Amino acid sequence: MNWPDVGGWIKDNAGSGAALVGSLLTGNIPGAIASGISLVSSATGSTDPAKALEALQTSPETILKLKELALREEENIRENLRLIEESRLKNEQSAHEQQQLTIRYGDSSEDNYVRHTRPMMARQSWYATIFYIIFFEALKASSIFSAGASFDLAMILLAPAGAYLGFRSLDKFWKK
């Protein structure tokens, strides 16, 4: 048992007043996590995550006490959550910048092998996907196989070409 587990339970079960404390415990900034631990420890009387979770799960008075502490410390909690979100966004931006620099360095390399590897892999991926689909659909049409090309396998084959074209992942289309 660890503090992020306790934070997850608090976010899911303790209600709106204490959910912010749960968010602190599941964050990635040590100061914010320490603040959340302090609040939960004050409410439960325990610094052990397992005992604190047990106290929260078995005693409604403990959750009420945590909500009261959270109300008193709401400004501090919100500032810590802002820092957590700011840190997450900076990490994402830094990772994106590094990825783009790596691509640019490869595309402008003096070495022909390095400069042409990504485009070549994308072309090979595209050709393999087209060949796969046409070949297996032709086998299906001629009744040699009962099933044609698999959509999942076609997407796996197409992934390098899609990545080269800038399509990295579907997660940017779904809201968190």
DSSP string, 47-88: SSHHHHHHHHHH-HHHHHHHHHHHHHTHHHHHHHHHHHHHHH
Q: Which one, of 124, 112, 134, 129, lies nearest residue 164 by Cα? A: 124
- pTM of structure: 0.56
Residues 6+ apart with CB under 8 A from 84: 23, 24, 27, 28, 29, 32
The identity of residue 142, as a single letter, is: S
The predicted pLDDT at position 4 comes to 87
State both tokens at 93.
């931006």
The predicted pLDDT at position 174 comes to 63
**pLDDT tens string 45-97:** 988 989 898 888 888 888 888 888 888 888 888 888 898 899 999 999 999 89
State both tokens at 65.
């006490």
- 14 contacts 56 by C-beta, under 8 angstroms: yes
Per-residue pLDDT at 176 exceeds 60:
no
Per-residue pLDDT averaged across 108-135, rounded?
Answer: 92
Angle CA(51)–CA(54)–CA(8) in degrees, nearest 5? Answer: 100
**pLDDT tens string 9-47:** 888 887 777 888 888 888 878 888 888 888 898 888 988
The Cα 96–Cα 143 span in angstroms is 47
Q: Which one, of 139, 157, 116, 23, lies nearest residue 40 by Cα? A: 23
DSSP string, 77-121: HHHHHHHHHHHHHHHHHHHHHHHHHHHHHHHT-SSHHHHHHHHHH
Work out the pLDDT band at 171, boundaries 50, 70, 90.
low
Work out the pLDDT band at 3, boundaries 50, 70, 90.
confident
Torsion (CA) 147, 153, 158, 162 in degrees, nearest 10:
120
The identity of residue 69, as a single letter, is: L
The predicted pLDDT at position 150 comes to 94
